[in-house]
Amino acid sequence: QIQVQESGPGLVKPSETLSLTCTVSGASISSDYWTWIRQSPGKGLEWIGYINDRGSINSNPSLKSRLTISVDTSKRQLSLKLTSVTAADTAVYYCAKGRTAPVYWGQGTLVTVSS
Amino acid sequence: DVVMTQSPLSLPVTLGQPASISCRSSQSLADSDGTTYLNWFQQRPGQSPRRLIYKVSIRDSGVPDRFSGSGSGSDFTLKISRVEAEDVGLYYCMQGTHWPATFGQGTKVEIK
């Protein structure tokens, strides 16, 4: 059974870097696409980016300059780093398997950007 | 970005009655290989989204057969043949054909 769990600090100060981890069990993290998606009251569901089995990354152009996505296969973890955050980055952040039709979503982790 | 427009945004339904949600995209979702990457998700209160249907009409494992998807090009529909209490929540369409993938605004299904 595939399980996905996001983790990270719930509160980040404006202008700082948001760092999240997604831990995967029950599936090989190196054999498919893995995606980050966020959900906020103002913007709804927004695609952040994905990493594929060859380590190639594709980021939403709206976030590309601030975004880093990486994978640590030994730990079965994906990571997301978003720099220079503002209140607009406040959202629940999800990790999911797949690119064109994400499945096996984690429960999400709420990140609030506030001083 | 491809804009996904759902209607209605709020859908009060009587238990046991059918429900239908429309999703229209600002451009065709047919890929160059002929595949249409249009998905439907259900988000129950307090839960993360759950994929119900992918590639327009393929139901995920464990999804009741009262849920069905149809459509082509830029016009798609999710139907619930007989709404049950557990179907309350938000429903989203999502396109995965064009980058970046985009979601509809969501349709809230509630019981009258």
List the single best residue of A37, A62, A97, A100 to mutate versus B (max B Cβ within 10 A): A100
A60 is written with which tokens?
């939403």
Chain A nearest-CA distance from B5, in A, is 13
> How far apart are the C-alpha atoms of A78 and B14, rounded to whole Å?
43
For chain B, the helix, strand and coil percentages under 3-state DSSP, each to the nearest 5: 5, 50, 45
Contact call for residues A44 and B5 (beta carbons, < 8 A): no
The 3-state DSSP class for residue A87 equals: helix
> How far apart are the C-alpha atoms of A29 and A108, rounded to whole Å?
18
pLDDT of the residue at A30: 84
The DSSP bridge partners found for residue B47 are none
- Among B82, B63, B4, CA closest to B37: B4
pLDDT of the residue at B19: 98
- Among A56, A62, A39, A42, CA closest to A99: A56
More confident site: B93 or A30: B93
List the single best residue of B2, B43, B99, B108 to mutate versus A (max A Cβ within 10 A): B99
Q: Say how many CB pairs under 8 Å bridge A and B.
A: 47
What average pLDDT does range B46-75 have in this prediction? Answer: 97
How do beta strands B19-25 and B102-103 pair? unpaired
What average pLDDT does range B7-13 have in this prediction? Answer: 98
Query: Is the per-residue pLDDT at A64 higher than 90?
Result: no
Chain B nearest-CA distance from A63, in A, is 11
Cα-only R_g, chain A: 13
A23-57 tens-digit pLDDT: 999 988 888 899 999 999 888 999 999 998 788 99
pLDDT of the residue at A43: 82
Q: How confident is the model at residue B49 (pLDDT cuts 50, 70, 90)?
A: very high
**Positions of E strands within chain A:** 3-7, 11-12, 18-25, 34-40, 44-51, 57-59, 67-72, 77-82, 91-97, 109-113
On the CB side of A14, how many CA atoms lie within 13 Å of its CA? 5
Q: Decide if A45 and B103 are in contact by the 8 Å CB cutoff.
A: yes
pLDDT of the residue at A31: 82
pLDDT of the residue at A53: 79
Chain A residues with CB inside 8 Å of B45's CB? none
Query: Is B110 in the A-facing interface, judged by CB distances under 8 Å?
Result: no
Burial (CB count <10 Å: 0-12, 13-18, 19+), residue B75: middle
pLDDT of the residue at B3: 98
> How far apart are the C-alpha atoms of A102 and B39, rounded to whole Å?
9
Chain B residues with CB inside 8 Å of A45's CB? 49, 92, 94, 103, 106
> How far apart are the C-alpha atoms of A81 and A67, rounded to whole Å?
6
Q: Decide if A45 and B99 are in contact by the 8 Å CB cutoff.
A: no
A65-92 tens-digit pLDDT: 999 999 998 899 999 999 999 999 999 9
